[in-house]
Amino acid sequence: MRIPLEAAVEATGARLLDGQRAPESLRIVTDTRTLQRGETFLALRGERFDGHDYTARAVEAGARALILDRESARIPGVATLLVSETLSAYMALAAAARRNFHGRVVAITGSTGKTTTKVLLAQLLERWHPGRILAPPANENNEIGVAKLLLAAESEHEVVIAELGARKYGDIAVLVAMARPDIGVLTNIGEAHLEIMGSRERLEETKWGVFSLGARAVLNLADEASRRRAPSLTQSPRWFWAGDDKPDVAGARVCAIIGRSELLLTDASEKASTHAIDVHLPGAHNRANLAAAMAAALDLNAPVEMLVGEIPSLVLPEGRFQRISLVAGPRLIYDAYNASASGTIASLEAFAGEAAPRRIAVLGGMAELGEEAEAMHERVGEEAAKVVDWLLAGGELARALARGAARGGLPKERIVTYATNHEAVQWLRAHTRRDDLVLLKGSRKYRLEEIVEELRQP
């Protein structure tokens, strides 16, 4: 989206230098590698880079204007908006773009499942409005990612789907101030980032911030915190549910997936309709993510029949229960995009439904769980014992995973701790058969993709 120059100056409080050379409107980019002639380069800072070091390259690539907070990085003769801090300016420009966007914005947050829900919702809506749905290709869910998404919205877009992540207390409300969502989807409130948030109460407050500006709520009927907090909303929520039984609710709007073959819809007047569906996604947790996406699509008034027809063709995002075949070696399920305790247990439950003569789990551990980390790893190990024939436990709390598995009844000779991903690969090569099924699950910090990459090598 192009921002009129005057509006950009007003939104950022910028001092305009060489203004006579400035374009009438700005299309803002932050990466010189993708910059097109006539666009405006905004210099962000990261842990290992400073965009101010690339202003000359931006001008060489055709930048018509610059947005900087360091005057010494100016290029003589190039229009420059000098701001107090470029990240704040980027967010202010994104908020201005949102004010000029006349479509609808859906914001999705939660401890687990938000990226999958976003991807499923985008697929469902694409059939309804082909080419008019905008969602980030990856989990660009921080201030920079959400700002980039809003600035990419154009008049032809009907719906923008934003994923909102939280790395500290209060983060979601900051993102909501930019995105001003019409609909807020809260997948669940679990234990992810508990160490950083400081307490479960602060975690709940942060996630509940998705509704801070009045977004219509889509909530998980299975989530205790959402049920408890729902009466504080100004509008009645739409609930979603996934399970083998029908939810026992009256007078509520509910989108429920029963098993894999039935969709139940109820409204506030207690009218109900059922629809035959065909869900291929693995695991109850992914059926819950689908129910969340369906509920959001219904709140956007997407036709039920169209949504039902799209369900069989839906696919999960990369890195989520991804099946990988090796030329030599066992079959793999790579589900290590990230991991929390509840997410890992959900993956193990889905793994239990997979047909295989032997199931082997490689659990790399979970991060940012605070004081409860050891107990949560033991609990995950105990759950793994119900599902797997062998457990490879890694990460900083590998011993806690192993203790839990032993307590859960898995024989100790079938519990292996490993110190490096290479050690795990060596064990898998020495002990697995071609028809074994191996689950890889762990937090990003443990880089379990290295195991896949090494196993692919001859």
Q: 67 and 137: one domain? A: no
Domains: count for the chain: 3
C-beta contacts of 51-58 below 8 A and 24+ residues apart: 51/86, 57/32, 58/32
The answer to the question of residue 122 being in a domain is: yes
Cβ distance 296 to 215 under 8 Å? no
In a domain, 94, yes or no: no
- Entry pTM: 0.90
% the chain with pLDDT above 70: 98
Whole-number Å distance between alpha carbons of 141 and 96: 19
Contact between residue 184 and residue 210 where contact means Cβ atoms under 8 Å apart: yes
Query: Within this chain, do residues 333 and 399 fall inside the same structural domain, yes or no?
Result: yes
- CA-CA distance, 447 to 364, in Å (whole number)? 8
61 φ/ψ angles, rounded to the nearest 5 degrees: -80, -5
The last residue of one of the domains, among 256, 283, 313, is 313
Q: What is the overall mean pLDDT for the chain? A: 95
Phi, psi of 273 (to 5 degrees): -135, 150
**DSSP classification of residue 137:** S
CA-to-CA distance for 297 and 127, rounded, in angstroms?
Answer: 11
Would residue 295 count as lying in a domain? Answer: yes
The answer to whether residue 403 scores a pLDDT higher than 80 is yes
Quick: pLDDT tens for 240-281: 999 999 998 888 999 999 999 999 999 887 789 999 999 999
41 in the same domain as 124 = no
Average pLDDT of the residues in 436-441? 98
Could you give the angle at the alpha carbon of 339 between the alpha carbons of 416 and 278, nearest 5°?
A: 110
Asked if 213 and 330 sit in the same domain, the reply is no
Same domain, yes or no, for 155 and 296?
yes
Domain of 341, CATH number, reads 3.90.190.20
Radius of gyration in angstroms for the set of CA atoms belonging to the chain, rounded to a whole number: 24
> Among residues 235, 265, 241, which one has the least CA distance to residue 253?
265
Q: Is 292 helix (H, G, I), strand (E, B) or coil?
A: helix
In a domain, 402, yes or no: yes
Looking at 153-270, list the stretches that DSSP marks H as alpha helix, in order from N- to C-terminal side.
171-179, 194-197, 200-208, 224-229
| CATH number of the CATH domain containing 37 | 3.40.1390.10
The Cα 124–Cα 135 span in angstroms is: 12
Where residue 192 falls among pLDDT bands split at 50, 70, 90? low
Q: What's the average model confidence in pLDDT over 334-343?
A: 90
Query: Residue with structure tokens 């908020």?
Result: 95
Q: What does the pLDDT read at residue 368?
A: 77
| Same domain membership, residue 125 and residue 270 | yes
Residue 96 lies in a domain: no
First to last CA, the chain: 48
* Residue 28 lies inside a defined structural domain of this protein: yes
Which structural domain range is residue 383 located in? 322-456
Q: Is there a single domain that holds both residue 246 and residue 343?
A: no
Judged against a pLDDT cut of 90, whether residue 329 lies above it is answered with no
In a domain, 24, yes or no: yes
CB neighbours of residue 200 within 10 Å: 15
Tell which residue, 346, 344, 294, has the closest CA to residue 117: 294
Residues paired with 415 in a beta bridge: 391
Co-location of 150 and 266 in the same domain: yes
Q: How far is CA 354 from CA 40, 278, 321, 358, 433, in A?
A: 51, 18, 11, 10, 16
From CA 118, how far away is CA 115, in angstroms rounded? 5
In CATH, what number is assigned to the domain containing residue 304?
A: 3.40.1190.10
Same domain, residue pair 171 and 240:
yes
Do residues 79 and 111 share a domain?
A: no
pLDDT tens for 62-83 read: 999 999 999 999 999 999 999 9
Q: pLDDT-derived band of residue 418, with 50, 70 and 90 as boundaries?
A: very high
Tell me which of 287, 313, 339 is where a domain ends.
313
* Interacting residues of 75 by C-beta distance below 8 A, sequence separation 6+: 55, 56, 59, 66
* pLDDT (tens digit per residue) in 94-119: 999 999 999 999 999 999 999 999 99
Domain boundary among 313, 345, 378: 313
Q: Tokens 């995973």 identify what position?
A: 401
In a domain, 95, yes or no: no
Strand-by-strand arrangement of the 40-42 sheet? 15-17, 79-82, 65-68, 40-42, 28-29
Amino acid code (one letter) for 122:
A
Residues 386, 346 share a domain: yes
Domain identity same for 326 and 298: no
Q: How far is it, in rounded angstroms, from Cα 260 to Cα 83?
A: 53
pLDDT of res. 195: 66
